[in-house]
């Protein structure tokens, strides 16, 4: 082969040699210098690489670490939430979270089999998919129990590890669920006070440099866990007894606007926040709007008295139904005679209420309800706030229906706040879940009624309990007063006779009202015990009585068993 190549090449070369004569020596020298330059460049490259290697060798070796993402994953701590007496409603505890480092897993199948044996509800397919990646950090499960941690630890699988994470715990479970709300797995507030703290409180804390762990002061609420529990227990019992779909209640300090207890059933356990997503479990007190029915007659009466169009001794014609456009307004138990204002109130006369409202006029009616905050979203810190439903055009018909609580829908909390103004001397205070002193309340208070109107309303509300539709609310010694309401719910655009929403809006003690109570039952059913009645007087009213009997001692209200001027009529007047 070489032999043959020899002869060929020789002849080739001879040709070349001849041609090469044309190229000068200088040019060849230049070409050679180019090779030297190329060598220089390569030398430079290799020198740089060597230098880099040496620099890396001298650099300190990285610490054996889990990867900084694991450390970052530690979620933020949150302040404890306490009730007004210092009972813990929400706190942080440290729990282990299980993570995997797929790139360190040697046998993915073994790891998954082991994990499934400890936590059979893990999604094996999903894990297999995640473990097949080269990621450095994957959460397998957040917030596992110490027993699970020990079991996984015993598996001895390299590439699995634990990080301590803060977990939010609500020791009272369901008790104050709608007030507290819940947090997600990253400790971010999703509802209630928790969300409020994220939106406002924590932001403020951070701005003031207090966000560091351990530096977060507990947040005290106005909620009294004992009162909250009593309210919830009574409402839950009532829901069962009257087979109601839902129940809600709120107890408000009439002098400061502080919410002492707030319950909406069905509720959820904030420790398992997924439950809260069920729309049936919404917070009905601040997040739902309802036609509260005759309860609104308290506002109608207050308006007539405050605007000066009526006094307690005035009478209105309730002899026949009112006909306006296509509506006929009639009374449930019609008296067919002229009724005094107190009679209208305790008999809950629709005709009388409508006449009182028409006397004032639709413009001033609307202005009055606005002044009382009934046409606005309720106060309070909870992010779940519903806007009332109000007709765009406020007509005569609107005034008539609104006078007995139909045609406009309000939140129960707004109604309770307005009721507080009716009885506390005429001052409207925004509701709050954060403690507020009397002095602060005085600064915030907005006078909306004359003091005399408030006095008259106290009389009317008390009268309604002693002689009217709400006798079953009378907790002995606590001088309860209030107004009942039984509203037919709208089903497919019509009022349904058998679907009721009953409510009682009361206050106690009526000689110096300290607390307002609102109780609402959604579709309570009549029973033998109630003689088939499902109206407020048979359910919401006695429930309120029970509640007040239980909570009044906790709230420091002195019972007065020598109560003067209590008329025992012995007659249960038809409610409505």
Is the separation of the CB atoms in 125 and 108 below 8 Å? no
Per-residue DSSP letters for 247-275?
Answer: EEEEEEETTT-BEEEEEEES---TTSGGG
The residues pairing with 482 across neighbouring beta strands, listed in sequence order, are: 506
DSSP 3-state of 166: strand
Region of 3-11, 117-125, 348-356, 504-512 interacting with another protein (CB under 8 A):
3-11
Smallest separation, CB 26 to another protein (Å): 10
294 an active-site residue? yes
Q: Which of 559, 515, 519 is nearest to 542 (CA)?
A: 519
5 near another protein (CB under 8 A): yes
Smallest separation, CB 48 to another protein (Å): 7
Query: What is the sign, positive or negative, of the torsion defined by CA atoms of 409, 412, 414, 420?
Result: positive
Q: Which of 397, 395, 404, 402 is nearest to 331 (CA)?
A: 404
Cα-based torsion angle of the residue sequence 19, 23, 24, 29 in order, rounded to the nearest 10 degrees: -120
Question: Which of 121, 125, 134, 443 touches another protein by CB under 8 A?
Answer: 134
Region of 9-17, 227-235, 306-314, 512-520 interacting with another protein (CB under 8 A):
9-17
Secondary structure letter of residue 407 according to DSSP: S
Site string for another protein, 22-61 (x = CB under 8 A): xx-x-xx-xxx-xxxxxx--xx-xx-xxx-xxx-xx-xxx
First to last CA, the chain: 121
Instruction: Characterize 138-171 residue by residue with b for buried, 16 or more Cβ atoms within 10 angstroms of its Cβ, and e for exposed.
Output: bbbbbbbeeebbebbeeeebebbbbbebbbbebe
Contacts 24+ apart (CB under 8 A), 347-351: 347/468, 347/469, 347/573, 347/574, 348/294, 348/297, 348/404, 348/468, 348/469, 348/483, 348/484, 348/575, 348/576, 349/318, 350/294, 350/403, 350/404, 351/316, 351/317, 351/318, 351/320, 351/321, 351/322
**Using CB under 8 A, which residues numbered 90 to 129 contact another protein?**
103-104, 106
Is the separation of the CB atoms in 258 and 222 below 8 Å? yes
Q: Which of 476, 486, 479 is nearest to 459 (CA)?
A: 479
Catalytic residue among 75, 294, 349, 575: 294
Closest to another protein by CB, 6 or 147: 6
Is the separation of the CB atoms in 157 and 109 below 8 Å? no
DSSP-derived pairing of the beta strands 219-220 and 322-324: unpaired
62 near another protein (CB under 8 A): yes
**Using CB under 8 A, which residues numbered 323 to 362 contact another protein?**
none
The residues pairing with 323 across neighbouring beta strands, listed in sequence order, are: 328
Closest to another protein by CB, 69 or 91: 69
Q: Which of 515, 516, 519, 509 is nearest to 475 (CA)?
A: 509
Smallest separation, CB 10 to another protein (Å): 6
Read off the tokens for 409: 């829908």
Per-residue DSSP letters for 504-526?
Answer: EEEEE-TTS--EEEEEEEES---
What is the rounded distance in angstroms from the CA atom of residue 496 to the CA atom of residue 487? 9
Q: Which of 464, 462, 465 is nearest to 474 (CA)?
A: 465
Sites of contact with another protein (CB under 8 A): 1-3, 5-6, 8-10, 12-13, 16-17, 19-20, 22-23, 25, 27-28, 30-32, 34-39, 42-43, 45-46, 48-50, 52-54, 56-57, 59-62, 103-104, 106, 134, 136
Residues acting as catalytic residues: 294
């Amino acid at each position: 082969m070489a032999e043959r190549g020899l002869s060929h090449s020789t002849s080739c070369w001879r040709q070349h040699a001849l041609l090469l004569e044309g190229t000068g020596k200088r040019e060849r020298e230049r070409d050679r210098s180019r090779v030297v330059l190329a060598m220089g460049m390569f030398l430079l490259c290799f020198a740089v690489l060597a230098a880099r290697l040496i620099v890396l060798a001298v650099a300190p070796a990285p610490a054996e670490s889990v990867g900084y993402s694991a450390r970052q994953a530690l979620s933020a701590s949150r302040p404890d939430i306490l009730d007004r007496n210092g009972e813990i409603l929400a706190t942080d505890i440290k729990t282990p979270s299980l993570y995997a480092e797929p790139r360190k897993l040697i046998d993915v199948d073994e790891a998954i089999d082991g994990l499934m044996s400890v936590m059979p509800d893990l999604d094996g397919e999903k894990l297999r998919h995640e473990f097949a990646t080269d990621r450095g950090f994957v959460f397998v499960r957040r917030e596992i129990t110490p027993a699970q941690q020990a079991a996984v630890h015993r598996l001895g699988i390299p590439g699995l590890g634990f990080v301590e994470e803060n977990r939010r715990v609500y020791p009272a479970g369901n008790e104050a669920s709608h007030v507290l709300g819940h947090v997600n797995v990253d400790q971010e507030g999703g509802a209630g006070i928790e969300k409020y703290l994220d939106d406002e409180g924590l932001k403020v804390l951070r701005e003031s440099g207090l966000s560091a762990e351990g530096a977060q002061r507990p947040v005290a609420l106005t909620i009294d866990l004992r009162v909250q529990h009593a309210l919830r227990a009574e409402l839950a019992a009532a829901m069962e007894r009257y087979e109601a779909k839902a129940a809600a209640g709120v107890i408000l300090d009439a002098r400061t606007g502080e919410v002492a207890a707030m319950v909406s059933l069905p509720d959820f356990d904030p420790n398992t926040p997924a439950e809260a997503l069920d729309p049936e479990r919404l917070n009905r007190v601040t997040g739902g709007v309802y036609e509260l029915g005759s309860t609104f007659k308290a506002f109608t009466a207050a308006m007539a008295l405050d605007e000066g169009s009526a006094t307690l001794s005035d009478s209105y014609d309730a002899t026949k139904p009112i006909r306006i456009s296509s509506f006929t307004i009639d009374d449930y138990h019609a008296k067919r005679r002229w009724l005094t204002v107190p009679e209208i109130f305790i008999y809950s006369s629709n005709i009388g209420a409508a006449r009182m409202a028409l006397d004032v006029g639709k413009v001033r009616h609307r202005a009055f309800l606005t002044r009382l905050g009934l046409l606005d979203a309720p106060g309070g810190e909870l992010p779940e706030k519903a806007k009332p439903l109000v007709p765009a055009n406020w007509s005569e018909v609107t005034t008539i229906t609104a006078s007995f609580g139909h045609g406009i829908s309000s939140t129960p909390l707004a109604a309770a706040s307005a009721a507080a103004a009716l009885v506390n001397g005429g001052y409207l205070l925004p509701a709050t879940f954060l403690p507020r002193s009397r002095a602060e309340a005085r600064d915030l208070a907005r006078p909306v009624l004359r003091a005399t109107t408030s006095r008259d309303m106290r009389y009317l509300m008390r009268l309604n309990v002693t002689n009217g539709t709400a006798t079953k609310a009378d907790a002995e010694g606590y001088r309860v007063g209030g107004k009942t309401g039984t509203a037919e719910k709208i089903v497919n655009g019509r009022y349904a006779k058998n679907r009721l929403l009953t409510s009682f809006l009361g206050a106690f003690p009526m000689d110096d009202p300290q607390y307002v109570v609102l109780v609402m039952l959604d579709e309570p059913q009549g029973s033998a015990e109630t003689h088939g009645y499902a109206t407020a007087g048979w359910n919401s009213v006695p429930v309120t009585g029970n509640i007040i009997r239980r909570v009044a001692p906790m709230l420091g209200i002195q019972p007065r068993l020598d109560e003067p001027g209590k008329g025992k009529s012995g007659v249960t007047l038809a409610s409505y």
